[in-house]
Each structure stands twice: as structure tokens, then as C-alpha cells.
Amino acid sequence: MASLTVTVKPQQKRPRKILVEMDADKFERLASSLGLFSKEFLSSLEKAEKDCRAGKVKKIKSLRDLRK
């Protein structure tokens, strides 16, 4: 298994945010391993973009909002 160097830094101005840095080539390898380049995933992204443009998206602040 290939190693992945990741740098995680807390943000000073926004305490609940973090910054994650990694090499672009290693990120592509990770994305490929997770299946983010599969045809099914890419087609689902296209469908999601169409839904967003059509206004079929509901903005939420928390996953709890989906229960309402």
C-alpha cells in the first residue's frame, strides 16, 4: 500500500475549521482507490449538477435537518 502524506492545520481565525494539505498526485491515487473516477460516480455527479441548476436542492446546516 502506498503512503500518503497529509498535513492538517487548525485555522486560527476559524476555530471549527481545519486545513488539509496533500500532494495532488497522491490525492488522485486516493480518489481512484475510493472509486471517485468510476463511471457511476461521475454520472451521479452530472445528475446532481443538473438537479442543482434546476433548483431541486435543499440547503441544510446539519444532517439533523433531513429528519424534518
Helix segments in 1-68, DSSP class H: 24-33, 39-53
Do the domain assignments include residue 49? yes
Residues 44-57: tens digit of each pLDDT: 999 999 999 999 98
Do the domain assignments include residue 64? no
In the block, which residue shows the cell 485555522?
Answer: 11
User: What is the DSSP-derived secondary structure letter of residue 34?
Assistant: T
Do the domain assignments include residue 1? no
Residues 19-43: tens digit of each pLDDT: 888 888 888 888 888 888 888 988 9
Do the domain assignments include residue 37? yes
> What residues make up the domain containing 29?
6-57
State pTM to two decimals.
0.47
Do the domain assignments include residue 47? yes
Total of domains in the chain: 1
Do the domain assignments include residue 42? yes
